[in-house]
Chains A and B, each alone.
Chain A
Amino acid sequence: MNPRNMNFIKTPAGHAGREAYSLIEVLVAGAILAIGIAAAALLANSMLVQQEANAQVSSALNLQEQAGKLFRMGLSTGEITNVLQTGGLSFSTNPAPLAGVESVNCVLVFAVGSDSRTNTNVFVRETNR
């Protein structure tokens, strides 16, 4: 074996007396690079999808939290639905935890991508407002 083939650093082609990269080496390097690029693209795509889903979830949770604040301000459940202009909210009355307060169950159905998710929260407010 030519000891020069054992050199880790190969000199670029064009220099007289130097070896060039072989076809196999270039193909392997190209394949590795293609795999890396493809993986990065897939990762980016999935992350963007996930990011969009997160934005939808955050928006929905924020909407439900605002519904809770409106409930504590004294609005009726119908008024809350009208104010927030969303069809995914529904309310049901809970038994009062104790005298002087009232409670409702708030269910929010919202879309995440092609799926549908449900988030449920309990809101409490003073009866004498």
Chain B
Amino acid sequence: MKAPPSRFRSREGALMVLALLVVLAGAVVLAGWAQLLATRAVFAESASSGQNRRIALENSRSIARGYLLANMISNAIPATNIITSWGNITISPSTALWTSSGAVGTNDSAYKNPFSPMERWGYYSVVSAILPDGSEAHAWTFLIRTRSPIAAGYPLVLHKGCSRAGLGGLTYSNQPHIDYIDYTGGRSETNVSGFSGIPQIPMTSVTNSYSPTNAYLGYFGAPVSGAPAGGPIFGVTTNSANGTITLDLATLDDGSTNSLVRYEVPAAAGNATIATLVIQGTATATDKAVHIVATNNTALTRVVLGGANQRRLYFNRSGPATMVLSTSDYSSPWPIGITLSGTELSVTPPLTISGGIRTDSPLGGTVTLTPNSDPGALDAIGDRIMWIEDFRTP
């Protein structure tokens, strides 16, 4: 017997559909909630994996940076897999790191430093690497940069005194946040830059001149790796009676353009100990430069500037000493860069130069530093800081 149709049938059906929808929505919410909790449960494990990979990648980066810091001064980066137990960190071999045409004396806008206040950007070298993170390998690029801070727009640079340790025949100074190379280390005479591998002074040729034996004449341009050639320098007179050497800037080179003279102050001339260096002359050739080095082997305590020189001049003095920078008939601010390592300097009478001073020792007297009209004038001959930048290769 069939039941009679209920007059509430349509309401019952609607109520049931509504109840089913509520149940469905509740089930979806419950499932989502459970899924969220499950995701949170595995989050820590995922985070741990990510953390380990980040740490491993940073370790790889530190190893590569440490390796480059220890080897970038040398001529070549010979590594392939520098350490296999860390997942095959690979640094691309690089020969003649600083003497390739792309690394020295070439301005490349691709790696221009946009934060530099000056128009030049020093030198750089690019080293490619593969850094593992324990799971994947990442292509990495290291930029080894170097430039003179004086040429970069810092006319007065005071370094904190530091202990020094020899590295690869050079003196390598470790600062908390700055690594720089100065002139107190060894010098390779076969390298035109004065140092093995540093883009100190790009020259086309150089020679250990015949007279005097501690002077070198070369010319600005691309560096060479072959046998040097050149001629002696002139205009050097020695007064053995009072231990004075005089450099005549007007007649120092062989008359060629773009010449660069590197002169190392000798410890003695004859029986006289050299204590005074007179740099004088009216030299107007701004394309030429003179680089004077006095190491701790000398007893040089006095430098006298005289004349109206416009030839670029860079003076380096190292070693524990107190030196006086004086003038005699000095006119117009000379374009001078000075780097002092362990040497105190007293400037008297007051002096104006168009360049800058780097020192890690006390500086006294009165010196007025003015910008050079050519901000890159001292860039090629100034000693420089060196640092590494790196980024993940895009």
A: residues with CB less than 8 A from B are 3-4, 9, 11, 15, 40, 43-44, 47, 50-51, 53-54, 57-58, 61-62, 64-65, 68-69, 72, 74, 97-101, 103, 119, 121-129
| Chain A proximity mask over B45-83: 1 for CB below 8 Å, otherwise 0 | 001100110110011001101110111000000000011
Tell me if B44 is interfacial: C-beta within 8 Å of chain A.
Answer: yes
CA distance A85 to B69 in the complex (A): 33
The answer to whether residues A101 and B44 also contact, given A68-B58, A121-B55, A128-B174 and a CB cut-off of 8 A, is no
A50 touches B66 (CB 8 A): no
Q: Which of B33-41, B232-240, B264-272 contacts A (4 or more CB under 8 A)?
A: B33-41
Contact of A65 among B44, B54, B86 (CB under 8 A): B54
| Residue in chain A with minimal CB distance to B69 | A128
Q: How many Cβ-Cβ contacts under 8 Å join chain A to chain B?
A: 97
Chain B: interface size category:
35 or more
B: residues with CB less than 8 A from A are 1, 3, 6, 8, 12, 16, 30, 34, 37, 40-41, 43-44, 47-48, 51-52, 54-55, 58-59, 62-63, 65-67, 69-71, 82-83, 85-86, 172, 174, 176-177, 179
A101 touches B41 (CB 8 A): no
A122 touches B59 (CB 8 A): yes
B30 touches A40 (CB 8 A): yes
The answer to whether residues A50 and B67 also contact, given A40-B30, A68-B58, A123-B55 and a CB cut-off of 8 A, is no
The answer to whether residues A126 and B62 also contact, given A11-B8, A54-B43, A65-B55 and a CB cut-off of 8 A, is yes
CA distance A89 to B66 in the complex (A): 25
Offer 25 A-B interface pairs, CB within 8 angstroms, sorted by A: A11-B12, A43-B37, A53-B44, A54-B40, A54-B43, A57-B44, A57-B47, A64-B51, A65-B55, A68-B55, A97-B63, A97-B83, A100-B66, A101-B62, A101-B63, A101-B67, A103-B59, A124-B58, A124-B59, A124-B66, A126-B65, A127-B66, A128-B66, A129-B176, A129-B177
CA distance A9 to B41 in the complex (A): 42
> A51 to chain B: which residues have CB within 8 Å?
37, 40-41
CA distance A123 to B55 in the complex (A): 7
Chain B's nearest CB lies how many Å from the CB of A85?
20
CA distance A75 to B199 in the complex (A): 33
Chain A's nearest CB lies how many Å from the CB of B345?
28
> A99 to chain B: which residues have CB within 8 Å?
66, 70
Contact of B86 among A97, A100, A121 (CB under 8 A): A97
**Top 4 A-B pairs, shortest CB-CB distance:** A100-B70, A101-B66, A100-B66, A47-B37
Contact of A97 among B6, B52, B55, B85 (CB under 8 A): B85
CA distance A4 to B54 in the complex (A): 70
The answer to whether residues A15 and B55 also contact, given A100-B70, A128-B174 and a CB cut-off of 8 A, is no
A61 touches B51 (CB 8 A): yes
> A97 to chain B: which residues have CB within 8 Å?
63, 83, 85-86
B37 touches A50 (CB 8 A): yes
| Residue in chain B with minimal CB distance to A101 | B66
CA distance A101 to B59 in the complex (A): 10
CA distance A6 to B174 in the complex (A): 93
CA distance A11 to B3 in the complex (A): 13
B8 touches A4 (CB 8 A): no
The answer to whether residues A50 and B63 also contact, given A98-B82, A100-B70, A121-B52 and a CB cut-off of 8 A, is no
CA distance A54 to B51 in the complex (A): 14
> A123 to chain B: which residues have CB within 8 Å?
55, 59
Chain B's nearest CB lies how many Å from the CB of A75?
12
A100 touches B43 (CB 8 A): no
Chain B's nearest CB lies how many Å from the CB of A15?
7
| Residue in chain B with minimal CB distance to A122 | B59
Chain A's nearest CB lies how many Å from the CB of B195?
18
Contact of A72 among B1, B3, B58 (CB under 8 A): B58
